[in-house]
Chains A and B, each alone.
Chain A
């Protein structure tokens, strides 16, 4: 089942912060975050494996609340290069297939 992402889109000015949320109605064994720039392939950002785990990637970090089956991606002091569509992915079930949400379009303006 597809994770649900919110918001669907967000517009920022350079330097502002944003939070993208991802929730699942089914058990999350791991949460994956990818970014896709326009006309390009998705690129891996990070994986969170354990409940409560937080990871960081430059000024982008994420948390994973296993109990609530939720993950959040935090973008601080956004840069123009952060623009793109962010996808969260859920690995679950016995076969660990990776199912993505519909994505959050992030636009950072000067």
Chain B
């Protein structure tokens, strides 16, 4: 158990809908990362927060947004869902944002858009 909690584990929804994925980092970790994993693209970096502030952005679609709250949990909002958004979404956390910080991954949320 990495100590990172993601909910829900599975989510099935329809095209055009909006969903929210939740992540609670390990105790003491200030940085949260979101990754999207599909079969052919590996782990795609979406966005990173540090202590409530956006730190880095990847190829995150405009339909997606995220935030980190004062209690350090994070939410990833996906709207106007398309079939291609079906993927496994991982949250990870680390203590800080330095080059030597290792990430601890949650078990992921499997999103299926039908």
Contacts and interface: CB of A to CB of B under 8 A. Distances in A.
A97 B42 contact: no
A100 B103 CA distance: 12
B25 interface: no
Q: How large is the interface on B (under 10, 10 to 19, 20 to 34, 35 or more residues)?
A: 20 to 34
Interface residues of A, number: 24
Interface string A1-25: 0100000000000000000000000
A29 B45 CA distance: 17
A97 B47 CA distance: 9
Contact of A98 (B2, B103, B107, B108): B103
Contacts of A49: 99-100
A30 B43 contact: no
A100 B58 CA distance: 11
A41 B35 CA distance: 11
Interface of B: 2, 33, 35, 40-43, 45, 48, 55-58, 90, 97-108
